[in-house]
Amino acid sequence: MAKQKKKPDRKTIRKTRVLAITSGKGGVGKSNFALNFALSLVEQNKKVLIFDVDLGFANIDVLLGRTPQETIATMIEKDLAAQDIIEEGPNGLLFISGGNGFNDLFRMDDLKLEKFFKELSTLQGKVDYIILDTGAGLSYENLRFILAADDVILVTTPEPTSITDAYSVVKMVHGKDPNVHMKLVINQSTSLREGQQTADNFKQVAEQFLGKEIGTLGFIPSDARIPEAVKKQTPLLLAYPDSPSAAAIRKVAGEFLQLPVPYKLGLKGFIMKILFK
């Protein structure tokens, strides 16, 4: 009997989702959250790549205590393949470093930009999640990344300055595309109550003034272990796996995995949007 070639089951084809982690103000804990959230997903057997797109201020490599040879900057300069710039971090977490002093990705000529993103599209199906650690605020670059991603996590602290800046991001993004899914993570709250109140107020204001629904993914307490892990250049989840903040980040990742998958096009859709929208 002739052997029938088995078609791959649709469900077994891995879809790569792109998640942007952003904030209004800088210094709210976005990079530490992105890194440890990614490691929490790895603990849940997901294949994850962090793409450090805080261009000019990239520091995921610093948090990992690594000095990558190749970065986005050298990839473009030397015409490298995506595979050449992907580094393997702890527990199989993959990362791409932004490189220092590189901040003009979108000012490159269109052909180079297209080549760069086409090269990235080779990751389709190879990882479950690409996590973008974006810069803070409303720069043109940030907006492009946010608008192209499948999901957006907005990190804020309970401080009014952080909240008003986060709100400005919601307003701007919502004005450009009301269908962007945004979820809040409240970082550095001094109590669960403070975190909850911050999230409730934020959601209420967004709903009342913009008609925008924003979900809450969770709360991460202020925890001295985080700056300690930064000084050790070892991610919190590995340096202090039993700390309250590590537990909170794991819980946020658990919530995230429970979310319904939005109907989006994944990595291919992300690339089409970032290039042509």
Ligand X SMILES: Nc1ncnc2c1ncn2[C@@H]1O[C@H](COP(=O)(O)OP(=O)(O)O)[C@@H](O)[C@H]1O
Q: Which lies closer to ligand X via its Cβ, residue 71 or residue 134?
A: 134
- Residue pair 166/205 in contact (Cβ under 8 Å)? The answer is no
Q: Which lies closer to ligand X via its Cβ, residue 108 or residue 224?
A: 224
Burial 208-217 (b: 16+ CB within 10 A, else e): eeeebebebb
Question: Which one of Mg ion, ligand X, none is in contact with 156 (Cβ closer than 5 to 8 A by kind)?
Answer: none
Q: Judged by CB under 6 A, does residue 226 bind ligand X? A: yes
Tokens describing residue 107: 């000012």
Q: Judged by CB under 5 A, does residue 31 bind Mg ion? A: yes
Question: Which one of Mg ion, ligand X, none is in contact with 100 (Cβ closer than 5 to 8 A by kind)?
Answer: none
Secondary structure of residue 162 in the 3-state scheme: helix
- Tell which one of 71, 134, 142, 188 touches ligand X (CB under 6 A): 188
- Residue pair 121/268 in contact (Cβ under 8 Å)? The answer is yes
Q: Which lies closer to Mg ion via its Cβ, residue 166 or residue 206?
A: 166
Q: Judged by CB under 6 A, does residue 30 bind ligand X? A: yes
Tokens describing residue 73: 């900057």
| Helix (H) or strand (E) run with residue 144 in it | helix 140-148
- Alpha-carbon torsion (249, 85, 19, 32), positive or negative: positive
Q: C-beta of 23: minimal distance to ligand X in Å?
A: 5
Q: C-beta of 208: minimal distance to ligand X in Å?
A: 27
Tell me which residues in 7-26 interact with ligand X (CB under 6 A). Answer: 23, 26
- Tell which one of 29, 68, 98, 218 touches ligand X (CB under 6 A): 29
- Least Cα distance to 236 among 14, 51, 64, 111 occurs for 64
Q: C-beta of 181: minimal distance to ligand X in Å?
A: 21
What separation in angstroms does the CA of 174 have from each of 35, 97, 167, 181, 272?
A: 26, 29, 10, 10, 20
- Least Cα distance to 187 among 209, 154, 155, 147 occurs for 155
Q: Judged by CB under 6 A, does residue 142 bind ligand X? A: no
- Tell which one of 92, 227, 244, 262 touches ligand X (CB under 6 A): 227
- Tell which one of 148, 158, 245, 250 touches ligand X (CB under 6 A): 245
Q: C-beta of 193: minimal distance to ligand X in Å?
A: 16
Question: Which one of ligand X, Mg ion, none is in contact with 28 (Cβ closer than 5 to 8 A by kind)?
Answer: ligand X
Tokens describing residue 39: 């490691």
Q: Judged by CB under 6 A, does residue 230 bind ligand X? A: yes
Q: Which lies closer to ligand X via its Cβ, residue 35 or residue 73?
A: 35
258: buried, middle or exposed (CB in 10 Å: 19+, 13-18, 0-12)? exposed
For 203, list phi and psi in degrees, rounded to 5: -60, -40
Q: Which lies closer to ligand X via its Cβ, residue 16 or residue 188?
A: 188
Interacting residues toward Mg ion by CB under 5 A = 30-31
Interacting residues toward ligand X by CB under 6 A = 23, 26-32, 187-188, 220, 222-223, 226-227, 230, 245
